[in-house]
Amino acid sequence: MIYFDSAATTFRKPHAVGQAMLRSMERCASPGRGGYRAAMEAAETVYACREQCAGLFDCAPEQVVFTFNATHGLNLAIKSMVGPGDRVVVSGFEHNAVMRPLTALGADVVIAGRTLFDPADTLENFQRALERPARAVVCTHVSNVFGYALPLAQIAMLCRERQVPLIVDASQSAGVLPLSLRRLQAAFIAMPGHKSLYGPQGTGVLLCGVMPKKTVLEGGTGSVSRELSMPEFLPDRLEAGTSNVTGIAGLGAGLQFVASQRPERLAAGESRLCRLLADGLAQMDGVRVFRGGNQVGVLSFQAAGMDCEEVARRLAAHDIAVRAGLQCAPCAHESAGTLEDGTIRVSFSAFSAEAEVRQFIQVMREINTTIKKETPH
Amino acid sequence: MNEFLITFRSMTQAQSGQRALQSKAISAVLQRTPKSVAVQGCGYSLSVGTQQQLLYAVQELRARGILYSKVYRKTDRGALEEVVI
């Protein structure tokens, strides 16, 4: 199989990930719930992963909260500070993991910057939107549909100047772009463990720059048990219930892989494949490619005359995995004018190869030729 | 034989403390805090063997801003007495 759906989840993982998970299942009980060997080994496994996250994302281990995915982390972050009617500024490229919680809360959502691959326009629109007070800014680092890397450092600076808390959705950037909680001074940064951190599904991380005022989930933490409210310290405040130790063990191995490969090297490799694919697709008649200078590891395209899901189906028949449709991001599609037709999204990982891209181009050329023959004049 | 306990509110804080002490070659064993002094319920402690180690340990934790709760000395009969540093 040629797997080009890494923006959803990286399917191929380093071998060490599975090994770490198996070892954890054989040796680890519940962390922070006992002083016996298996409980302490679980605690060590979890803390070692916190340390790795802290090292990669420039924060303290206590600021690392384990979640089940980025959506979980974003919900914890958003619901800790946003209430009904609060004015919240978001980019024009947000995923439903951001838009749905804000809608459920009844927030007054202001969309800033809808022009694809135009950081100056994005920044200008954030500046304008922040001329009025806002409860928070929630912003994706990289669009999950188009791979557009937003000017996050400058948006973070705007937020600091105006003292507006910033929540970052780093779903597509964690592990491939530099990300520092300390430098951004963000309130929260949410990320999945199962994408470019190469952990298993069911893992995620929320980096906390502030102490969350409100909690979403309450329960046992193995600490200050006589208190019937959640602890006022991290990570316990946001980690109710038994941890996903097996998943965290795998995530730890994934993080080791990322650190050994270096994120900037991984990003360069994915960008190279992205350009190669974009060049190949752009030569095909009727194929519209969404590409730009600030693109990271994700590329969308449309084939005139054929439903995007039909293209994905035909690619799947050649054992090529891509994601078609709206990719859970109607906001991004509305910005790009692709809400009605959707796109075919191709996304890479450290395990994607140039030969796979070349084969993809060849198969897509055949599909496109067929489309032209099938389309009535 | 002396034994001193430095108590923490959470496992993670105790682990951060242990790592900090390890980096200064101070041996500290992570363990559950005895119920008699875990006033707020469950907690974790770092155990160090000598008064000298205890002083170095507390100095290091303070220098790194790692929050501990209290310090205790274990008496020969196993009771815990608070130590103010």
Min Cα separation B39/chain A (Å)? 8
Non-local CB neighbours of A246 within 8 Å, separated by 6+ positions: A21, A24, A25, A28, A200
Output the DSSP codes for A253-291: HHHHHHHHH-HHHHHHHHHHHHHHHHHHHHTSTTEEEE-
Q: What is the average pLDDT score of chain B?
A: 93
Q: What are phi and psi of A189, to 5 degrees?
A: -130, 120
Residue written as token pair 């719930």: A33
Is the link from the previous residue into A330 a cis peptide, with omega within 30 of 0? no
pLDDT averaged over 10-residue windows placed end to end, chain A, 377 residues: 97 98 96 91 97 98 98 98 98 98 98 96 98 98 98 98 98 96 98 98 98 96 93 96 97 98 94 96 96 94 94 97 96 96 97 98 95 73
3-state SS class at A53: helix
**Per-residue model confidence (pLDDT) at position B5:** 96
Does B32 lie at the interface with A, CB-CB under 8 angstroms? yes
**What are the start-end ranges of the H helices in chain A?**
15-27, 37-57, 70-81, 96-105, 119-129, 152-162, 181-184, 245-261, 263-282, 308-317, 330-336, 354-374
Per residue, what are the HEC states of chain B?
CCEEEEEECCHHHHHHHHHHHHHCCCCCEEEECCCCCCCCCCCEEEEECCHHHHHHHHHHHHHHCCCCCCEEEECCCCCEEECCC
Structure tokens at A323: 């994601």
Look-up of token digits 């937020």? A159
Q: Residue A223 is nearest to which of B10, B15, B39, comparing CB atoms?
A: B10
Q: What is the pLDDT, as a whole number, of residue A301? A: 98
Q: What is the pLDDT along chain B (85 residues), one digit of tens a residue?
A: 679 999 999 999 999 999 999 999 999 999 999 999 988 888 999 999 999 999 999 999 999 999 999 999 998 888 999 999 8
User: What six digits make up the tokens of B12?
Assistant: 């993670």
B67 contacts: CB under 8 Å, gap ≥ 6: A233, B8, B9, B13
| Chain B residues lying within 8 Å of A224, measured CB to CB | 9-10, 40-43
Report yes or no: B20 and B83 within 8 Å, Cβ to Cβ: no
Tokens linked to B44: 């974790």
Question: Which DSSP symbol is given to A174?
Answer: B
CA distance A163 to chain B (A): 26
User: Which residues make Cβ contacts (< 8 Å) with residue A172, sequence separation at least 6?
Assistant: A7, A140, A141, A142, A143, A144, A147, A195, A196, A296, A297, A298
Task: Collect all residues with Cβ–Cβ distance below 8 Å to A299 and sequence separation of at least 6.
Answer: A146, A147, A274, A277, A278, A281, A289, A290, A291, A345, A346, A347
**Interface of chain A against chain B, CB under 8 Å?**
31-32, 34-35, 40, 43-44, 47, 50-51, 60-62, 221-227, 231, 233-236
User: Across the interface, do B41 and A60 touch by the CB < 8 Å criterion?
Assistant: no
Residues in CB range of B13: below 8 A, 6 or more apart: A62, A233, B44, B66, B67, B68
Q: B24 touching A, CB under 8 A?
A: no
Does A31 contact B11 at a Cβ distance shorter than 8 Å? yes
Count of CB atoms within 10 A of residue A357's CB? 22
- Cα B11 to its chain centre, rounded Å, is 12
Question: Taking a C-beta distance cutoff of 8 angstroms, is the pair A240, A32 a contact?
Answer: no
Min Cα separation A32/chain B (Å): 6
In this prediction, residue B13 carries a pLDDT of 95
B16 touches chain A (CB under 8 A): yes
Q: What is the ipTM of this complex?
A: 0.90
Q: Which residue has the tokens 């795998």?
A: A250
B68 in contact with A, Cβ within 8 Å: no
